[in-house]
Chains A and B, each alone.
Chain A
Amino acid sequence: MTQATKRAMLAMLLLAALFLSACGSPAPAAPADPTSTPTLSEGPTAVPAALQSPATAPPAAAPADGPMIDTTRMSSTMAYAELYNILVNPAQYVGRGIRVEGRYYSAMTSDGAERVHMVLVYDSAACCELGVEFQLPQGMDYPQPGETVLVSGTFRTLIYNGNPFGYIEATASQVTATAPPPALVPIN
């Protein structure tokens, strides 16, 4: 192989590396970052009302092929990664059964019209958290804030700003651990 050929190959390989670096992945246009709790009235921004009303949800899709997604039988690393991928690509999981266990959290939307109910799932180091919205049938009571809850149901999507947004149409929720006591006791 001549020097000129080697130089040409090196130049081509370096150009290929620089060219490939421009092929960045566009950020998903999902309404909420799946690695964080959703934006609620108690946080920086609120979840729009369109996300809260089941009436805005598209008709239920035919059940998707595939076994139930049971994150309670997975390690924390796998459960977090699986839920992350579900929330980033929700359309692929519509209609599938799902079970998630995590800490219950709720807040009002910014207009005060509705309350959003979430189950928070943490990764192994507990530094990243995912919020998965769930909706119980009418008449069922929601847990107390901070309680660990096991939610079972069907994964559905809402359309917001043209993007699918996932939530669990829950059929059951069960408290598996009560909320921890407050770290500081107020002095009276």
Chain B
Amino acid sequence: MSMWQTLVHYLSFPFVQHALVVGVLVALSASLLGTVLVLRRLSHIGDGLSHVAFGAMAIATVMQLSGDMLLVLPLTMLFSILLLQGNRRARGDASLAMLSVSALAVGYILFNLFPPRGGNVSGDVCTTLFGSTAILTLSRQEVWLSIGLSAVVVGLFAVFYRHIFAFTFDADFCAASGFKLRLYNLALAVVTATVIVLAMNLVGSLLITALLVFPVVSAMRVYHSFRAVTLCAAVFSVTAALLGILLSILAGTPVGATIVAADMLGFILFCALGVLKERGTKA
């Protein structure tokens, strides 16, 4: 069977179709959020919050909650609000670092002290941290939930694009112009937490920052306007997610790592394009 025939055969499986739909939407949401976070120099917050989400998932597993989203999403939102809107001490990079490693350590200890039914601690931890096949094993409810939340995130960006532009580049000007700065910070915190929790299924906790940062930084190598960077990052992220998922199911590699590898290669390509564009401009 040729590679094309194999791919067509794989695409007939419902769980592959679900993975592609959810993967594309999550990658799109992450790239839009990443544009704001990178330009506001908050790139590291994705990493910290993903570790908090891991810790929350461990607590949900210990408490044997029927759906871990009931605890993971609100808890991640809480810490996101604290980190983005809290006092100066709470918002410092040292605070974020301590919170990040503490959540990871506590989560792992909880998994070991109170293993999930079946006892496959290393498998559960590995899947949550690296997202090896999580995107291919989503239940129908998880698929619809991911689609719904991603649609809300994309809708927010579409409706409030101009406000997001102003808020990203000059928050003080926004406050002086009468914008409700606290409300926008709150919305950013909620959206960040939502995208982080969604992206854990795609690439795992440890690799989420790649989804937020690579598309934006790559786009900035070639384009210099906010609109162009946002659109380019969105296309880049969706393309990398699609390529990553398809390559991983063909080659038998972990899905999350393959998507990040595709992001990395895309970044290198865009760096080269940026250099060529600069030389062309100078010439």
Q: Write the residues of chain A forming the contact surface with B, with a CB cutoff of 8 angstroms.
A: 6-7, 9-10, 13-14, 16-18, 20-28, 32-33, 35-39, 43-44, 73-78, 80-82, 84-85, 88, 123-125, 127-129
Contacts and interface: CB of A to CB of B under 8 A. Distances in A.
A76 B140 CA distance: 23
Contact of A17 (B124, B194, B255): B194
A37 B137 contact: no
Contact of B133 (A9, A80, A88): A80
Interface in B157-198: 159-160, 163, 180, 183, 187, 190-191, 194
B69 A24 contact: yes
Contacts of A125: 126, 130, 132, 254
B274 interface: no
Nearest to A33: B118
B15 to A, nearest CB: 5
Contacts of B141: 23-26
A80 to B, nearest CB: 6
Nearest to B137: A84
B250 interface: yes
Contacts of A75: 249-252
Contact of A36 (B120, B145, B253): B120
B145 A25 contact: yes
Given A17-B149, A21-B149, A37-B120, A77 B133 contact: yes
Given A39-B118, A123-B132, A25 B159 contact: no
Contacts of A81: 15-16, 133, 136-137, 249
Interface of B: 1, 10, 13, 15-16, 65-70, 73-74, 115-120, 122-124, 126-127, 130, 132-133, 136-137, 139-142, 144-145, 148-149, 152-153, 155-156, 159-160, 163, 180, 183, 187, 190-191, 194, 248-255
Contact of A20 (B130, B136, B149): B149
29 contacts: A9-B159, A10-B156, A13-B155, A14-B190, A17-B149, A17-B153, A22-B70, A23-B145, A24-B67, A25-B140, A25-B142, A26-B66, A35-B124, A38-B118, A39-B118, A74-B10, A76-B252, A77-B133, A77-B254, A77-B255, A78-B16, A78-B136, A82-B13, A84-B137, A85-B15, A127-B122, A127-B123, A128-B123, A129-B120
Nearest to A92: B14
**A-B interface, 10 closest residue pairs, ranked by CB to CB distance from nearest:** A24-B67, A33-B118, A36-B120, A75-B252, A127-B126, A36-B118, A81-B136, A25-B141, A128-B123, A76-B252
Nearest to B73: A21
B250 to A, nearest CB: 6
A36 B119 CA distance: 7
A128 B250 contact: no
Contacts, number: 154
Contacts of A18: 74
Q: Please classify the interface of chain B as helix (H, G, I), strand (E, B), loop, or mixed, using the class held by over half of its residues.
A: helix
A80 B132 CA distance: 10
A21 B65 CA distance: 14
Nearest to B141: A25
Nearest to A28: B139
A78 B16 CA distance: 9
A42 to B, nearest CB: 11
Given A17-B152, A33-B116, A88-B139, A127 B132 contact: yes
Given A13-B152, A13-B156, A76-B252, A27 B66 contact: yes
Nearest to A85: B15
Contacts of A10: 156, 159-160, 183, 187
Given A35-B118, A75-B250, A78-B252, 9 more contacts: A21-B74, A25-B67, A28-B139, A35-B123, A37-B119, A76-B252, A82-B15, A88-B137, A123-B254
Contacts of B163: 6
Contacts of A21: 69-70, 73-74, 145, 149, 194
Residue among A37, A77, A124 with max Cβ neighbours from chain B (10 Å): A77
Contacts of A82: 13, 15
Contacts of B144: 23
B127 A78 contact: no
Contacts of A128: 120, 123, 126-127, 132-133
B66 A6 contact: no
